[in-house]
Amino acid sequence: MVTAAISRGSSAESPTRVRVLVVGGGYVGMYTALHLQRQLKAELRSGAVEIVVVTPDPYMTYQPFLPEAAAGNISPRHVVVPLRRVLGRCKIVIGEVKAVDHAKRTATVATLATEEEAAGPIEVDYDELVLAPGSVSRTLPVPGLAEHGIGFKTVEEAIGLRNHVIEQMDIASSTRDPAIRDAALTFVFVGGGFAGVEALGELEDMARYTARYYHNIKPADLKWVLVEASDRILPEVGEEMGRYTVRELRARNIDVRLETRLESCVDRVAVLSDGTRFPTRTVVWTAGVKPAPLLAATGLPLNGRGRLKCTARLTVEGVEHAWAAGDAAAVPDVTASEPGRECAPNAQHAVRQAKVLADNLVASLHGKPPQEYAHKYAGSVASLGLHKGVAHIYGRKLKGYTAWFMHRTYHLSRIPTFNRKARVMAEWTLAGLFKREIVSLGSLEHPRAEFELAAGPPPPPPDNDVTADSSPDAHDTGSTRDTRDSKDKGGTGDVKNTGPATD
């Protein structure tokens, strides 16, 4: 049972209830709540503890599988984990925490119903705070980026990018303008980290396969450009594997530009710092992430990069009853030989930190001492497309099919729930037996467009100027007037079937 520490609870429903507020439903948020509900089953049943998870989305996205979802190897539904199913003993609130007053133990939350109710954000009281809001894309003031750039951090962006790439191939296939064709078939990726390299590798692989179904597009017509500001890509896999990756990408006719920056993409022209100009309709921005803006509204101590200063026990430095991990937290790496080293903000640390955080929070409630988080970085794996990859694990360097297979095996073991593991495995098996899907479903981004067109007012009549090849009947005003009169008198108004198509 939970000891007297429970008496700190301030819930209006029960004066002795401890409310744990988890901010964020990503790796740290979901796994922390999952471990808490497993370890506090009795307390949750008795009402001594309540776990509230506030998250903008009702699912956790397993980001390492986003490139494969973009390439069509995995269904988008299977790279996300529904929080309500996994966290059955927690209260899930779909909303966004706008501010935290830790002195008063309250969080200001804007929910989906906030605008509907016109009552403003709600105040949520808590006793223990777990901050795991994650990160957002780190952008730079590049002219034209906000108007034309595409991110690659969410499942919506991954699917949107897939649809966009195939749509550009459709445009290039049907246009008679060489400039439009070249711009449509030029794809610029900014950022040589995991997200940029894996997204580029998978999408190039998918587009090259798709090109075989176009009568006038060859794989060589597609132009892929990777722009990286530093002198290497994939630093996580080591310098040697980074150089191998550059050679592998260039062998696939991918233009890799190191020590180069994107200066502008105004008017759909990518201008690089080396003076090169690429007319393009696709600029994918994957140049890093930064801590969520919420952290600046908490009043809690931050480091120079805007992350929460934390101890090795995953508590916020100098603050009681506040915990943090993952991208939002600057956690000391106790296994590093250099003093002052921090854990890298990646999924490998986030998942393990979540378990230690939950253990320490439960230990705190039971009056027991917490433990330090210690995990020596195991290494990294990256996919470069189907059957291609690089890896640097426990000092061993792997490449090609072996690294690709290890990439899939590792991430299959890490994606939450047996349900998701089985579905992903089934899709990989089917993908090996059948051909790739090459369909673009871009209309999903505007699902009401067709209905709005059908339900809206009829379009205005065209200009009555008769062109050289127009039929004399094309401007039969009598037929048109009869049609409109029929509509005004309560007729069907079916212009298609009652006269020449002038409206």
Q: What is the strand order of the sheet 91-101 is part of?
A: 122-125, 106-111, 91-101, 49-55, 18-23, 128-131, 322-324
Percent of residues, the chain, with pLDDT higher than 90: 66
SS (H, E, C) 406-472: HHHHHHHHHCCCHHHHHHHHHHHHHHHHCCCCCCCCHHHHCCCHHHHHHHCCCCCCCCCCCCCCCCH
What's the whole-number mean pLDDT along residues 162-186?
96
**In DSSP terms, which residues pair with 278 in a beta bridge?**
270
Q: For residue 376, which amino acid is it? A: K
CA 81 to chain centre: 13
Q: How far apart are CA 162 and CA 413, in angstroms?
A: 26
Give the burial string for 445-468 (b: 16+ CB within 10 Å, else e). eeeeeeeeeeeeeeeeeeeeeeee
Using 50, 70 and 90 to split pLDDT, how confident is the model at 451?
Answer: confident
CA distances from 347 to 3, 26, 325, 354, 380 (A): 33, 10, 11, 10, 11
Q: How far apart are CA 168 and CA 281, in angstroms?
A: 8
Instruction: Give the per-residue pLDDT at 23.
Output: 97
Per the CB < 8 A criterion, the answer to whether 352 and 382 are in contact is no
Closest CA to 119 of 111, 107, 130: 111
Q: How far apart are CA 206 and CA 166, in angstroms?
A: 9
CA distances from 414 to 373, 418, 421, 430, 480 (A): 19, 10, 9, 21, 65
Closest CA to 227 of 169, 145, 299, 154: 145
Closest CA to 161 of 198, 134, 213: 198
Q: How far apart are CA 321 and CA 20, in angstroms?
A: 10
CA distances from 313 to 246, 330, 347, 358, 488 (A): 39, 12, 18, 11, 75
Is pLDDT of 41 > 80?
yes
Q: Where do we find the tokens 């980074």?
A: 242
Using 50, 70 and 90 to split pLDDT, how confident is the model at 432?
Answer: confident
Q: Where do we find the tokens 């805007």?
A: 306
Look up residue 157 and give its DSSP letter. H
Q: How far apart are CA 92 and CA 33, in angstroms?
A: 10
Is pLDDT of 486 > 50?
no
Q: Where do we find the tokens 């132009």?
A: 223
Q: What is the pLDDT of residues 290-332, one digit of tens each?
A: 889 999 999 999 998 899 999 999 999 999 999 999 999 999 9
Is pLDDT of 502 > 80?
no
Is pLDDT of 363 > 60?
yes
As given in the structure block, the two tokens for residue 55 are 């998250």
Q: Global pTM?
A: 0.83
- Please provide residue 142's backbone torsions phi and psi, each rounded to the nearest 5 degrees: -85, 125
- Please provide residue 93's backbone torsions phi and psi, each rounded to the nearest 5 degrees: -115, 115
Q: How far apart are CA 185 and CA 253, in angstroms?
A: 13
Using 50, 70 and 90 to split pLDDT, how confident is the model at 2?
Answer: very low
Is pLDDT of 5 > 60?
no
Closest CA to 178 of 133, 221, 129: 221
144 three-state secondary structure: coil
Strands 106-111 and 91-101: antiparallel
Q: What is the pLDDT of residues 109-159, one digit of tens each?
A: 999 888 777 778 889 999 999 999 999 888 899 999 999 999 999 999 999
DSSP letter string, 342-396: B--SSHHHHHHHHHHHHHHHHHHHTT-----------EEEEEEETTEEEEEETTE
Instruction: Give the per-residue pLDDT at 495.
Output: 37
Q: How many CB atoms lie within 10 A of CB 9?
A: 22
Percent of residues, the chain, with pLDDT higher than 70: 88
